[in-house]
Amino acid sequence: MKKLVLCAAVAVFGVPAAYAQSHDWSGWYGGINAGEGREADFDLSAVLEVDPATSFFPAPLAGGTFPTNRSFSGDGFVGGVQWGYNVQNGGLVLGGELDLQTSDISSTISIPNAPGGAANNPEGFTDLKFGVDYFTTARARAGYAFDRLLVYGTGGIAYGKVEFDRNYRVAGGEIRDSASSNRTGWIYGAGAEFAMTDRISVRGEYSRVDLGSGGFDTSYSDGTIGRASIDTEFDVLRAGVNFHF
């Protein structure tokens, strides 16, 4: 009976273990990817400081300070390139990867009567648009290979550009402005990659990107000043193909 159990154990575990070493993930690779940025959170903390001698804002708003604290969500396409290097020891695979992504992740909202509310600005509104123009990451990867299937976790540094557009509708007309900020943050995630051949693999990956908080200061022709701080985080779901060298 013990021999039968031992033979069964070898059949179940020994053969796959030996087979798991048939594909080698070691070496350089590069590829392309595409996917979606989802659950993007833009947390806005802003203050509008209206000039006392303003020519745009209604008289009740002149010289006033109007704070805004709001959260917005959005999504959009992401796509780009990646390149990296793996080292394999048994089933353990360690490596590093860089990627560069273009993005149209964005969120747009219109706030009626802002600033000042319906009593002071009945025909007014504020249009706000937030967006991630691009981001790049430098990450470590650690995973385990089951022959041609590699399951891994990843994490590292993220860097990207966040854009902010505003359009105020007030008694004196419309005021438009825009600003952008380059941010440094972090990224973590997990994925799975399958080697279709010795040179070509396909993969799917989830990651969470946090570009931190950045400030935007803008001024208008009447002397009014807008100050804003925006915290930006988003999920990324993407598929890709790699070419191994």
Q: Is 165 part of a structural domain of the chain? A: yes
Q: What pLDDT, in 10s, does the model give residues 39-87?
A: 899 999 989 999 999 888 888 889 999 998 889 899 999 999 999 999 9
pLDDT at 38: 92
pLDDT at 238: 98
* CATH for 38: 2.40.160.20
Q: Name beta bridge partners: 179.
A: 164
* Under 8 Å between Cβ of 135 and 163: no
* Under 8 Å between Cβ of 81 and 34: no
In this structure, how many other beta carbons lie within 10 angstroms of the beta carbon of residue 240? 21
Q: What pLDDT, in 10s, does the model give residues 146-158?
A: 999 999 999 999 9
Q: Is 89 part of a structural domain of the chain? A: yes
Q: What pLDDT, in 10s, does the model give residues 214-228?
A: 888 888 888 889 888
Structural domain containing residue 214: 25-244
Q: Is 198 part of a structural domain of the chain? A: yes
Q: Is 98 part of a structural domain of the chain? A: yes
Q: Is 12 part of a structural domain of the chain? A: no
- pTM for the complete prediction? 0.83
Section 83-100 average pLDDT: 97
Give 21's pLDDT tier (boundaries 50, 70, 90).
low
> Poorest-confidence range of 7-11, 76-80, 193-197?
7-11
Q: Is 2 part of a structural domain of the chain? A: no
Number of domains in the chain: 1
Question: What is the rounded CA–CA span in Å between residue 236 and residue 245?
Answer: 27
Q: Is 124 part of a structural domain of the chain? A: yes
Q: Is 210 part of a structural domain of the chain? A: yes
Q: What pLDDT, in 10s, does the model give residues 140-188?
A: 999 999 999 999 999 999 999 999 888 888 877 888 888 899 999 999 9
- The H or E element spanning position 9 is helix 2-9
Section 192-212 average pLDDT: 97
Q: What sign does the CA torsion over 111, 115, 121, 127 have?
A: negative
